[in-house]
Structure 1
Amino acid sequence: MPEWEAVEEEGFRVGEYTLYTKEVILRGGRKQRIYFFSKRARDDATPCAKPKGYKVMINEKTGLPLLKKK
């Protein structure tokens, strides 16, 4: 299991992955904030801290990190 660390300037990190957030517009026109992990720096999203009430899990099949509500 990778080591987890919180880095303020770069956002929350799990191994090589950084947690990002961005606002998307759903089909009905409603705005929603999404969180996702990425290895590469994203221009369309902002690095962020882990949101309260969520825990980080690792997908057993792919090895990718994901957020899950506690």
Structure 2
Amino acid sequence: MAFSVISKKSGKTYFLHQRHQELKGGQKVILYYFGAEPKEGAIDALPEGYEVSENSKTGLPLLKKKK
């Protein structure tokens, strides 16, 4: 089951996804994003060292590194 968050503003459910991306310089990074439906790349747990916050204007969830 994919990790999900319910928006406090809109009440919609969003699912966490990850994608491996290679940058122009050859560096490989992992991109995390939320989508409205669980698709390919959906992950089951929150990555270690990250927390979920919400954009106050749009209600979209965001991943932030813990301080």
What TM-score do the two structures reach when normalised by structure 1?
A: 0.74
| 1:38-62 deviations in Å (ceiling 9; x for gaps) | 002333x233410111110010011
Q: Which has the higher strand share?
A: 1
Q: Which runs of 5+ in 2 are unaligned?
A: 7-12
RMSD between aligned residues? 1.3
Higher relative contact order (CA 8 A, sep 6+): 2
Runs of 4+ in 1 over 6 A off after TM superposition: none
Equivalent pairs, count: 60
- The aligned residue for residue 20 of structure 2 is 23
Q: Which runs of 5+ in 1 are unaligned?
A: 1-9
What TM-score do the two structures reach when normalised by structure 2?
A: 0.77
| Aligned-partner SS, 1:47 | coil
